[in-house]
Structure 1
């Protein structure tokens, strides 16, 4: 961050802000209006802006992405329309993971205990084979273990363990996730 007081100036550098303006233009002109099946095209655009994008990634056209250069998307993961990847800090989504519609993955918050409420960013790591169901909220600094399921509209404020079904406000592990062949 370049500024400790969010009331007196920007938290990010001029270069970062200019890059986000350029991304917003590209997003509106080339990303958001692209037909749904054009996942390769959207992956290409994300790579042009510094995202690390695996093979077979499905990012839908109405995903709201704050800063693509802070994204890492594993092979065959999917991010549905109306999901928000508020990538002020790093977001890593593992292989074969699904981020459903309306999910908010938010890496930024403010330290309200300090004068000026400075911005704080913490990375979010979503493991392999994770499903985050519709309209869940993932707080800054959270790690979701491989194979976990986050229920619809859950509010995840702490790390969630691998291979567990988790839900609620605040989100808590409920039961073991077992796959049936």
Structure 2
């Protein structure tokens, strides 16, 4: 019991420390020291809340994660290159099986491929894989995986279109004080 509580206290103070750091480079170094892998030119705005801060957080290059996001990295979050994660996105990798008599706990990683654009207030549930170039529209609740270039929206989410253009952009939103 004491050991588990000590872990939660460590996570709380790690989140607090991360969110009080003034520079993107310091935040990146801090997360790397805790075991995360983060590519070049990636920007993590604050506040962001991490659930576990383990070695199961892999962020590619040219990724922007905007304020208000919640990253449940217990089961592993793998983010490709040139990904934009907008304000207040929630990514979950763990939960409880509601069809199990004892509400059995489970973890499933989330994979976000290259050139994915996630709009604000999206929920991504455990085990989801988003193919290259997907666009997730505002407020979507993503409970299943989607193929490349899908435009996804709704609750529950479904394919509402397909991208017919290329994905030749490089994300770089390292502006201070973004709200």
Q: When the two structures are superposed, what TM-score results if normalisation uses the length of structure 2?
A: 0.85
Distance of 2:15 and 2:80 partners within structure 1: 23
Q: Is the 8 A contact 1:161 1:173 kept in 2?
A: no
Write out aligned runs for 1:162-181 (5 A).
Answer: 162-179=148-165
Aligned to 2:11: 23
**Higher RCO structure (Cα 8 Å, ≥6 apart):** 2
Give the secondary structure class of the aligned counterpart of 1:101.
Answer: coil
Q: Please state if 1:99 is matched with 2:82.
A: no
What runs of 5+ residues in structure 2 fail to find an aligned partner? 169-179
Q: Is the 8 A contact 1:88 1:107 kept in 2?
A: yes
TM-superposed CA distance for 1:66, in Å, is 1.1
Give the secondary structure class of the aligned counterpart of 2:29.
Answer: helix
Structure 1 runs, 4 residues or longer, greater than 4 Å off: none
Over 3 Å counting, the alpha-carbon distance change for 1:147 and 1:174 in structure 2 is same
Distance of 1:133 and 1:114 partners within structure 2: 33
What runs of 5+ residues in structure 1 fail to find an aligned partner? 1-9
Aligned residues: 166
